[in-house]
Chains A and B, each alone.
Chain A
């Protein structure tokens, strides 16, 4: 009984994933667009880091590592968040939600499919930038070691719960809220301590920064590059905060999904 249910769920998730993958298989401009911003960002910050390195001296390698590591890891969050939100918007724009939601697809399966799509989109977007950093600036992100997996998972998870919030707002306000899909994480960037430690921020906004898993991941990155140690305390905070935020975002999504079913928004959204 359980195994057929798992198989059916997996097939429904694959159905939605397939719907997005065929679009990318056919359209190289779409693939190019995914890698465009991460590539551009690493070019700008890579040359900036090279310039500072030529002036700063012996600490240059560590500072460059912090900067380039920050740029590449933050792209993981950005691309994961946009991957979920934009894939959902694709359904809204194509006025396909009515068909999707009268199928036996469960809401959690929709979210699982969106997360799977976001992982694919993130890899297509970020891997070329990682390769470029290695070729142009001899910066190897993988030299961070196995803890990189923990960093990446936490940053992806943050992208997912932020995008769940965005999808909830789209369910509430329709396509009018779509600008948030591109902009919301940029508003969190100053507080995520990507390029500088939390201690640099004014005391009043430090609690906000420390409530974001990304700030703990980037504190962990700096500790690793500066002292060669893994800041397990920060990692524990990042994991715990992500679990709490994911739970809260899932509750918000379920509440907005139900509200959309009460208002009839699933039929009219995108029109």
Chain B
């Protein structure tokens, strides 16, 4: 849950006094164009970035005072943050298993490798993988500690449609089976529509609309979220802050 969350860099207001809550076990989408404030918001939720103002509570912990207790039960994946390229896939996963104090490391890595179709890649250096393979390894890293809260920043960016669809199907199944809470930042409208039960639409650092995909479609009288996104991005409707 975030209240009054604000991030200012000098004169630039990157995130402007936003409030939201992510219901447990749900997938919530953070939708917005480039520079809308999605990545900044996620970085603040992860403790990588100190907010200028506002509070964040995750899994009952105040992130300003007790972030390490929450971070042990969270994880994160982004195509913009890499894993060491010269380490093999198994070595990378082993490093993060140690960092998250995962018991039975070998067994956990084998489980994830089987689930994400990585078994044949375990001994390959991470730097020699294709974009799709890297995405699956990044997902495996983000699931190594069986997180209760998973933050995904554009998880299917730069993937071909087939691989992107595979990742989305896998995330759907994983959330249903694990009960994990997922916050997904994306500007892939189809992805958000498919995966998310609730959507927060960001623009210029503010949440300008929110609701379920169906509610947003009805509110804007559109057939898909892409059209809703374009309406908001091009100011074709009056911004309604809810």
Contacts and interface: CB of A to CB of B under 8 A. Distances in A.
B83 A267 contact: no
Given A96-B82, A99-B83, A264-B40, A104 B99 contact: yes
Interface in B79-132: 80-87, 91, 94-101
B99 A15 contact: yes
A99 B134 CA distance: 14
A199 to B, nearest CB: 49
B95 A262 contact: no
B56 to A, nearest CB: 13
B99 A12 contact: yes
Given A94-B83, A96-B82, A11 B50 contact: no
Interface string B14-51: 00000000000000000000000001100100111110
Contacts of B85: 94
A18 B94 contact: yes
Interface in A88-112: 90, 94-96, 98-106
Contact of A105 (B46, B99, B141): B99
A12 B101 contact: yes
A104 B95 contact: no
Contacts of A249: none
Contact of A94 (B43, B50, B75, B82): B82
A16 B49 contact: no
Given A11-B101, A12-B99, A103-B100, A98 B48 contact: yes
A266 to B, nearest CB: 5
B74 interface: yes
B208 to A, nearest CB: 23
B71 interface: yes
B87 A22 contact: yes
Interface residues of B, number: 34
Given A94-B83, A96-B81, A98-B81, A18 B48 contact: no
B83 A102 contact: no
A98 B100 contact: no
B197 interface: no
Contact of A267 (B48, B68, B87): B48
Nearest to B144: A103
Contacts of A23: 86-87
Contacts of B81: 95-96, 98-99, 267
Lowest 8 A-B CB distances belong to which pairs? A15-B98, A98-B81, A103-B99, A95-B82, A104-B72, A94-B84, A102-B46, A15-B99
B64 to A, nearest CB: 11
Nearest to A22: B91
Interface of A: 8, 11-12, 14-16, 18-19, 22-23, 26-27, 90, 94-96, 98-106, 258, 261-264, 266-267
A93 B137 CA distance: 19
Interface of B: 9, 39-40, 43, 46-50, 68, 71-72, 74-76, 78, 80-87, 91, 94-101, 141
5 contacts: A23-B86, A96-B84, A98-B81, A99-B76, A262-B50
B98 A264 contact: no
Nearest to A4: B101
A77 B74 CA distance: 39
Contacts of A90: 84
Given A96-B83, A267-B43, A8 B50 contact: no
A16 B82 contact: no
A102 B98 contact: no
Contacts of A102: 46-48, 71, 74-76
B77 to A, nearest CB: 9
Contacts of A261: 47-50
Nearest to B77: A99
Contacts of B98: 11-12, 14-15, 18
A27 to B, nearest CB: 8
A102 B47 CA distance: 7
A98 B68 contact: no
B156 to A, nearest CB: 19
A52 B49 CA distance: 58
A98 B86 CA distance: 17
Given A18-B94, A94-B82, A103 B71 contact: yes
A98 B141 CA distance: 13
